[in-house]
Structure 1
Amino acid sequence: MIVDVVTTILGGAFLLRFWIQIVRARPPFQIANFLIQLTDWFIRPLRKTIPGWAGYDWSTLVAAILMAVVSALFDTWLINYFSARIILFLVALSLLNWIIYGFMGFLIIEAIFSWVNPYSPIASFVRDLNRPLLEPVRRFLPTLGGFDFSTLIVFFLLQIVSRTITHLILSNLI
């Protein structure tokens, strides 16, 4: 359980760092500093072997994949059954869950900030992280009565995607 918690936190931090680069978001100083201190010990050595390309630091994505591999290896070690196929499926499942639950978490944080303090610097950072997910829905669904339901719709779509992918991966595993 401790290994799963640690790999999930680190894997999520690596994925967040990569997503920040993709959407070109500017985190508040405290968040950026925390994220760098949490992940730099692993990213710096990887950068020596995995160069950045097309404006992205690919070592952060590789670090997230390595965390998923560690988690999968530990899980297969616990059940005492090593299989490359099972490890591959567990890695894919871990990465997809981290991504989807991370997006869902940021959608919840954005909804809370919209009620509490929509002008906070953290709120604008979270909006920047969620914008690529919400914009396609906002194009098709206008605000109804002054309410923006795009966050709720994307949240439910992410749940459907998570359950579908989990079902597909687990059905192929058995």
Structure 2
Amino acid sequence: MPEGYLSNPLMLIINSLVGAYIFVLVLRVLLQYTNADSRNPVSSFIIKATQVPLKVLKPIFPTVKGLNLSAIVLMLVLQMLIGFLAMRGQPNVWVVFIWSLTELISTIINVFIYSIFATVILSWINPGAHNPVVSLLYRITAPVLTPFQRLIPPMGGIDFSPIVALLALQVLKMLLLPPLFALI
């Protein structure tokens, strides 16, 4: 039986589960940073899903200026775990750290990109509806969209700031990630 026969499906499962938890941690950091309503059912789920490990890390890594450092450290540690598992053998800690940091930055930018897309589509489909997920999406996108909305006011009732914000996020990824990957 080849070595990769069982290890590849196992890596897929581990990567998917840990990646999903990292995504939930990213949402927790963003929702906490934007002061989202913790009574929202989605926020409540995210808080409960991340409460146990963060309670342990919180005394060591407190929240500073709205950024939950314990969640950020946990995201980095989990991403590094995936890196160590993916790079079998004797991986270099520095390489795994830089790779993990780059992956986390990419994930955070992608969360903003997908959230902006979702809010745009939802504004076309059902613009006035109140939904717990929709209100959280608007909270998540506010730090990115607000500066662009100040620069580009709506023209004829159409808001072009999401398009410019999406372009800026893509440019940010193109400028930020390749130099980090080059360090590896």
TM over 0.5: yes
1:27, 1:125 within 8 Å by CA — same for their partners in 2?
no
Q: Measure, in 2, the Cα distance between the counterparts of 1:123 and 1:40.
A: 23
Which residue does the alignment assign to 2:3? none
Which residue does the alignment assign to 1:103? 112
1:3, 1:74 within 8 Å by CA — same for their partners in 2?
no
- More divergent stretch after superposition (97-106 vs 22-31): 22-31
Query: Are residues 1:120 and 2:130 paired?
Result: yes
- Within 5 A, what are the aligned runs for 1:13-162? 13-26=24-37, 29-54=40-65, 56-77=67-88, 80-118=89-127, 119-121=129-131, 122-162=133-173
1:8, 1:98 within 8 Å by CA — same for their partners in 2?
no
Q: Measure, in 2, the Cα distance between the counterparts of 1:128 and 1:167.
A: 29
Q: Measure, in 2, the Cα distance between the counterparts of 1:65 and 1:51.
A: 16
Q: What is the identity percentage for the equivalent residue pairs of Structure 1 and Structure 2?
A: 20
Which residue does the alignment assign to 2:5? none
TM-score by structure 1 length?
0.86
Aligned residues: 171
Q: By how many angstroms is 1:52 displaced?
A: 3.9
Q: Measure, in 2, the Cα distance between the counterparts of 1:53 and 1:165.
A: 24
SS of aligned partner of 1:50: coil
1:28, 1:125 within 8 Å by CA — same for their partners in 2?
no
Q: Measure, in 1, the Cα distance between the counterparts of 2:23 and 2:175.
A: 21
Looking at secondary structure, tell me which structure has more helix per residue.
1
Query: Are residues 1:9 and 2:20 paired?
Result: yes
TM-score by structure 2 length?
0.81
Q: From the CA coordinates, give the structure whose radius of gyration is larger.
A: 2
Q: Measure, in 1, the Cα distance between the counterparts of 2:136 and 2:168.
A: 22
Q: Measure, in 2, the Cα distance between the counterparts of 1:166 and 1:55.
A: 25
Q: Give the ranges of 4+ consecutive aligned residues of structure 1 lying more than 6 Å apart after TM superposition.
A: none
Q: Measure, in 1, the Cα distance between the counterparts of 2:116 and 2:148.
A: 13
Gaps of 5+ in 1: none
Gaps of 5+ in 2: 1-11
Amino acid at match of 2:41: Q
Q: 1:152 to 1:54 in 2, by over 3 A?
A: closer
Q: Measure, in 1, the Cα distance between the counterparts of 2:183 and 2:64.
A: 34
Amino acid at match of 1:73: F
Q: Measure, in 1, the Cα distance between the counterparts of 2:66 and 2:147.
A: 24
Q: By how many angstroms is 1:26 displaced?
A: 1.6
Aligned-residue RMSD, C-alpha: 2.1
Question: 1:56-93 deviations in whole A, cap 9, x for unaligned?
Answer: 5432222112222212222222xx34112211211111
